[in-house]
Structure 1
């Protein structure tokens, strides 16, 4: 076992992407040392009947998942279990391998406990990642697969990229996520329109009966977000993930001029958009909330607003794996305090 707070100063001396690579290597190495790996699970993975729920045909033992972007290549799925996550979402994957944007492309905003990333869907591509998923699926915790288009794919051909990925990967995913909300692929957010959503989900739902969700950006008006998500659900989307990173660079004191912001500075904007969507769609589809979640209280706020699941990423960088255990144990206390016997009773409690 290790104390993340003692290691964090050393990690923060490294460039952010180098630190991420080092952590990934450590997680993969732990899997080859069963005493260490099993000890991490015993320490970090929180299970309790009050947290358990059934979604997408799978059991979620706790509601705290790893957001897409951390494990882009499906190489750390076992490691995310050891950290305590109740589910993991890999990706974003594209049909062809791509290197992503030039480095540096990841920055810390330490005072704001936030991250700015302009990664650009760097990943190993469909062929290699498909092979990895085949070798691990089904896994003991649910796996989501987040998919996007290649940078060089035109808007006119974008649907083919998504359908190619769905056709190949749906047997090895518990749910899939359409990512048209990253700010780091030119023209991608232009696909957040009703015509593209209709055509994409019509094609996608003909290929699989696995749940397919839409992930949206926070940088649109409340009315736009609600209308887009409502249209997606009407076209067959099985859920909404809100939100991706923001391009409101005024939220940090020394921003770069590229990429999207996540972490603490995204918290209120993410909740604002999620809450607006939940007012319209709670009870009609599955909602997952992500963006600035770093405490039991914030996770509980999202759950009471209508989120069945929550995801985090940036708070893992600033607080370490302890944040997952802290949120889950805190949720148990908050649920029991309010007289709930199951998390399902708390989901949407503020919508009633």
Structure 2
């Protein structure tokens, strides 16, 4: 991508079915680290490594605060290539205990006029054993990696806790942090697990198995008060952080939406920001927050940081703008935070509520 404009690549990929395009892009990313000149050229072009942005979180150095959200790298296949896209960290998955094919195709759609994506993938992945093998090969690759975990589709809700227990055991020694995903709209009944009893139990079990930080990822389609209560329950139960938000099932956002699956990208910006503001106001000084959902540039990323995010993530808008977006966000964060008089990006975290 450093050798030609991303717009050229996008024009070719957008002629293909979205899932086919994703598969082809994945093949390229898997091959990229094996071509050092291309890899190094992309890192030089897109990766922003500046003392102003570096943070030590959970005992690991994040060289910049912009990460790749879960869903892009479902099987941990592209981790070595992620720095070449400019990201300071990545989150792999969602991974389930057993392999599963996901929902019937077509299940991935571009909402081009809305600069958004709609997906009904359904946690398609090769399972925890495959993911663990991939991550084992990264043992000496010094780069922060989150592991997003979820239950299998055919696991009854009453037995869901066993799936998460299996995943905690499998990944107890892998990655930088783990994320409990009970907020995807594409696994039937999953969002029903967003309740106090389940959250307390899953964190109790997780904390008994691993010392890795465990985070909770929440959906955007709940009232702010309910979200704050659930996050409070998670923090009390030992959550090391909150990720907000997952995709939305608010199909009124565009007349072009399907009536199934979750929407991400620019359509989610306002909804995600509003919910994150409520969470940030309450928890910016109590736990680590990661904001994701419709972050389309440095101004939006900086707003989320001022609202309490130590880290931000993107995915859908990467597809529309390419890795130059990641570079632009990181460079813009330095400019915007310095303009506000901050000597380091961490000083801007939660600044909105400290006035």
Aligned position for 1:266? 268
Between 174-183 and 162-171, the greater mean CA deviation after superposition: 162-171
1: distance between equivalents of 2:221 and 2:139?
A: 35
- List aligned pairs for 1:300-311, cutoff 5 A: 300-311=302-313
- List aligned pairs for 1:217-256, cutoff 5 A: 217-256=219-258
2: distance between equivalents of 1:191 and 1:139?
A: 34
Are residues 1:288 and 2:290 paired?
Answer: yes
Residue among 51, 74, 78 paired with 1:72: 74
- Structure 1 residues 344 and 93, CA, compared in 2 at 3 Å: closer, same or farther? same
Shift of 1:139: 2.6
Structure 1 segments unaligned to the other structure (5+ residues): none
Between 132-141 and 311-320, the greater mean CA deviation after superposition: 132-141
- TM-score, normalised by the number of residues in structure 2: 0.98
Shift of 1:140: 2.3
CA contact (8 A) 1:137 1:173 kept: no
**Which secondary structure does the structure 2 equivalent of 1:127 belong to?**
helix
User: How many residues get paired?
Assistant: 352
- 1:82-108 deviation digits (Å, cap 9, x = unpaired): 111000000000000000001100001
- Structure 1 residues 239 and 138, CA, compared in 2 at 3 Å: closer, same or farther? farther
Between 332-341 and 113-122, the greater mean CA deviation after superposition: 332-341
2: distance between equivalents of 1:86 and 1:56?
A: 15
Shift of 1:254: 1.5
Aligned position for 1:100? 102
Aligned position for 1:278? 280
- TM-score, normalised by the number of residues in structure 1: 0.99
- List aligned pairs for 1:22-171, cutoff 5 A: 22-171=24-173
1: distance between equivalents of 2:139 and 2:47?
A: 20
Structure 2 segments unaligned to the other structure (5+ residues): none
**Which secondary structure does the structure 1 equivalent of 2:227 belong to?**
helix
Aligned position for 2:12? 10
**Which secondary structure does the structure 2 equivalent of 1:139 belong to?**
coil
**Which secondary structure does the structure 2 equivalent of 1:111 belong to?**
helix
CA contact (8 A) 2:284 2:349 kept: no
2: distance between equivalents of 1:338 and 1:285?
A: 24
CA RMSD of aligned residues (A): 0.8
Between 37-46 and 211-220, the greater mean CA deviation after superposition: 37-46
Shift of 1:163: 1.1
Q: Which runs of 4+ in 1 moved over 2 A?
A: 137-140
